Amino acid sequence: MIKLNIHEAKTHLSYYLQRIIKGETILLCRRNVPVAELRPIKKDKQTKRPIGLAKGYLKIPKEFFQPLPEEMTKLFSGDKK
């Protein structure tokens, strides 16, 4: 862990940000007294979500698959007649 006073951090901020991005943690101090800890934000996992997690919790009625009434279809197509 890197220990820095605020003046040093402000002077070389870009350099220390690059080190934080690479995974290092910085202890920020005021007159050698720790006041904050700077560390990288954990990235979200980029794995695909598995299919079927809600299986058994949701039931879709057969009527869901029936064609919509003509009046409703006209509303979706923008036909106001």
Give the strand order in the sheet containing 2-5: 2-5, 26-30, 33-38
**pLDDT value at position 52?**
85
**CATH number of the domain bearing residue 12:** 3.40.1620
Q: Is residue 79 part of a domain?
A: no
Q: Is residue 64 part of a domain?
A: no
* Total of domains in the chain: 1
CA dihedral 45, 46, 47, 53 (to 10 degrees): 70
**pLDDT value at position 56?**
86
Residue bearing the bigger pLDDT, 5 or 48: 5
In this predicted structure, the answer to whether residue 79 has a pLDDT above a threshold of 80 is no
Can you tell me which residue has the tokens 């940000």?
A: 17
Q: Is residue 20 part of a domain?
A: yes
Cβ neighbours for 67, distance < 8 A, ≥ 6 positions apart: 73
Residue bearing the bigger pLDDT, 56 or 26: 26
Q: pLDDT tens digits, residue range 16-50?
A: 999 999 999 999 999 999 999 999 998 877 788 88
In this predicted structure, the answer to whether residue 13 has a pLDDT above a threshold of 70 is yes
Cβ neighbours for 68, distance < 8 A, ≥ 6 positions apart: 76
